[in-house]
A and B are shown apart, each in its own frame.
Chain A
Amino acid sequence: MLELKGLSVSYGSFTAIESIDVLVQKGEIVVLLGSNGAGKSTTFKAISGLEKPRKGEILFEGKSIDSRSPGRIVESGIVQCAEGRKLFPKMSVSENLIMGAYVHRKNKKAIKQSIKHVYELFPILYEKKENAAGSLSGGQQQMLAIGRALMAKPKLMLLDEPSIGLAPLIVEQMFEVIQQINEEGTTILLAEQNANAALGIASKGYVFESGSIVVQGTSEELLSDDSVRKAYIGA
């Protein structure tokens, strides 16, 4: 479904990622592991069109998308849920969700249905639908960020560190929801530092280290890989 072929991205003279290859099949959950600054977020930015690749290709459903504008990429079905629960803090929860459906703005009926679906997935958002997004707790904000990404009806969702700064119990819930979204037919590419939880739901993973992929394999392989265990699981 999504294929990165020898992708490199630089900021000026600094190379953020160097010829990486990633393959995501339809219906999978794939996880990108790596510490801060390893290049996970840059990879996401390149896929969603915010950064132009210096070298290499990004193929989505067999077509090259690296020259498309971010808006067109969202329209074609790739939606990013950015790190750090970026929301519109002054807008209400429901307004945030409606903004998420921007590319479907002409289809009011579909938007209503999507909102209903998001509220079913996250009942707490329904209770707080009139509240300003900035007044929600960390976990609720992350739910809203995921919900807003869902509003665009993605075929592929890019989730950048959904567990960052959340309590363990909330993290567990978050991963359950991610799994549920995946079962409903959305392919998911996940960037995480929480390797244990992420590999628990993913089918395969890539380990990033200073801009390149150093290890890759199925979840079982990575969980039993000594270097991965040492670096990310701490056992």
Chain B
Amino acid sequence: MAALLNRRTVISGFILLALVFPFLTKNSYVLHILTLAFIWMIAVYGLNLLAGYTGYLSLAHAGFFAIGAYSLGILTVKVGMNYWLAFLSSLIITCILGLLIGLIALRTKEHFFAIYTLCVGYIIYLVIDKWDGLTGGVRGLIGIPVPAGFGPLSFEKPLSQYYLILFFLLLTVLMVYRIVHSLSGRTFIAIRNSEELAKTLGIATMKNKLMVFVLSTLFAGLAGVLYASFIRFIGPDIGYITITFDLLMYLLVGGIGTLAGPIVGTLLIVWVSQSLQFLQDYRMLIFGPLLTLLIIFYPRGIIGAFYEWKIKRQEKKRMRALIKNHKDAEFPTANSVPDKKVKEG
């Protein structure tokens, strides 16, 4: 019970901090970076569902992020659709494309799945880059509108955008939390554990994998849509492989297959890479070895390491209590005389 209360206070503390944060800093650049980090977090949660909980590492994630962003861009700028209608349509478009790609991609497994999705991601990037007529090619799309306001609410200012994106992030976390703690979540974990075993329990693995694949593209798409209307300019770069690996790095550092991992990893890496800005691309000389060490020693990231430490501590406590009880009760002390003498010979 104490642990639960503890966790609840920690979570509400963080939410509160996120809510008052804009009033603690007058620096608009910090707010901008934090808002961007929130967007990445939403995408990382999508990747976490698929790679972390179901065990299918998709490297097409940035592709779906770009599909979401470009759908919104094209629908608002070129078609002139109402903002929130375009918002919804973009998510639907991303999911439909996710479903079609998932249908084929999920016939492969493990490394092959990763390589296949890597190719798919690159093809998505190429299509965006080369299809001048639709996407504007390398010039990209300019002048994407900010989210339209509801009644008195408007999202013109960076501060209001910060809250809007925070709202979507919290919604994402809540959704993922509900999914992971439901039977569906356990079904995904069962598939990660052993697909054959899952099948012998009567789980329709293909259906479940497809569901989680589409869900993960939904979150990638949502992040893309928010990105497009936050930055208001998009180029083909947002669909490039490096974005996928950035997202993957956030997930690995924070803790793959954990609920808090995406938040911790994204915040940490974004913060560190901002503070090491003066090193330019040589930053990677620091990141590379650090990441390698992390994967070797803490394969489940920072959050995973934290849980391991907690379990070990509990176990130690339990053992100590056990030994203490035994000492009082039945362990013979040094002074006591053994009942029987050991027979020799």
Contacts and interface: CB of A to CB of B under 8 A. Distances in A.
A and B pair up:
yes
Interface of A: 48-50, 69-71, 73-75, 79-80, 82, 86, 88-91, 95, 98-100, 102-103, 105, 148, 152
B183 A88 contact: no
Interface string B163-194: 00000000000000000000100110110011
B190 A71 contact: no
Contacts, number: 55
13 contacts: A48-B199, A50-B199, A70-B199, A70-B200, A71-B203, A71-B204, A74-B202, A82-B196, A86-B197, A99-B186, A103-B201, A105-B183, A152-B201
Interface centre among A48, A69, A88, A91 (most CB of B within 10 A): A88
Contact of B183 (A73, A79, A98): A98
Contacts of B201: 74, 99-100, 102-103, 148, 152
Nearest to A81: B200
Nearest to A89: B193
Nearest to B197: A86
A103 B202 contact: yes
B203 A102 contact: yes
B204 A88 contact: no
Q: Which among B189, B194, B199, B204 has the highest number of chain A CB atoms within 10 Å?
A: B199
B202 A71 contact: yes
B203 A80 contact: no
Contacts of B200: 48, 50, 70, 74, 79-80, 82
B175 to A, nearest CB: 20
Interface in B194-253: 194, 196-197, 199-204
A50 to B, nearest CB: 6
A88 B53 CA distance: 13
A75 B186 contact: no
Given A88-B197, A99-B190, A105-B183, 8 more contacts: A48-B200, A50-B196, A70-B202, A79-B202, A86-B194, A90-B189, A98-B183, A102-B203
B202 A91 contact: no
Contact of A152 (B183, B199, B202): B202
A69 B196 CA distance: 12
5 closest Cβ pairs, A-B complex: A74-B202, A103-B202, A70-B199, A71-B204, A80-B200
B150 to A, nearest CB: 38
A90 B200 CA distance: 19
Contacts of B203: 71, 102
Interface string B23-37: 000000000000000
B208 to A, nearest CB: 10
Contacts of B187: 99, 102
Given A88-B189, A91-B186, A105-B183, A71 B197 contact: no
Contacts of A91: 186, 189
B126 to A, nearest CB: 36
Interface string B302-317: 0000000000000000
Contacts of A148: 201
B56 to A, nearest CB: 17
A95 B201 CA distance: 13
Contacts of B197: 82, 86, 88
A102 B202 contact: yes
Contacts of A100: 201
Contacts of B189: 88, 90-91
A69 B206 CA distance: 11
A42 B108 CA distance: 23
Nearest to B199: A70
Contacts of A152: 201-202
A100 B202 CA distance: 8
A79 B71 CA distance: 46
A75 B200 CA distance: 11
Nearest to A69: B204
Given A95-B186, A102-B187, A105-B183, A88 B193 contact: yes
A181 to B, nearest CB: 17
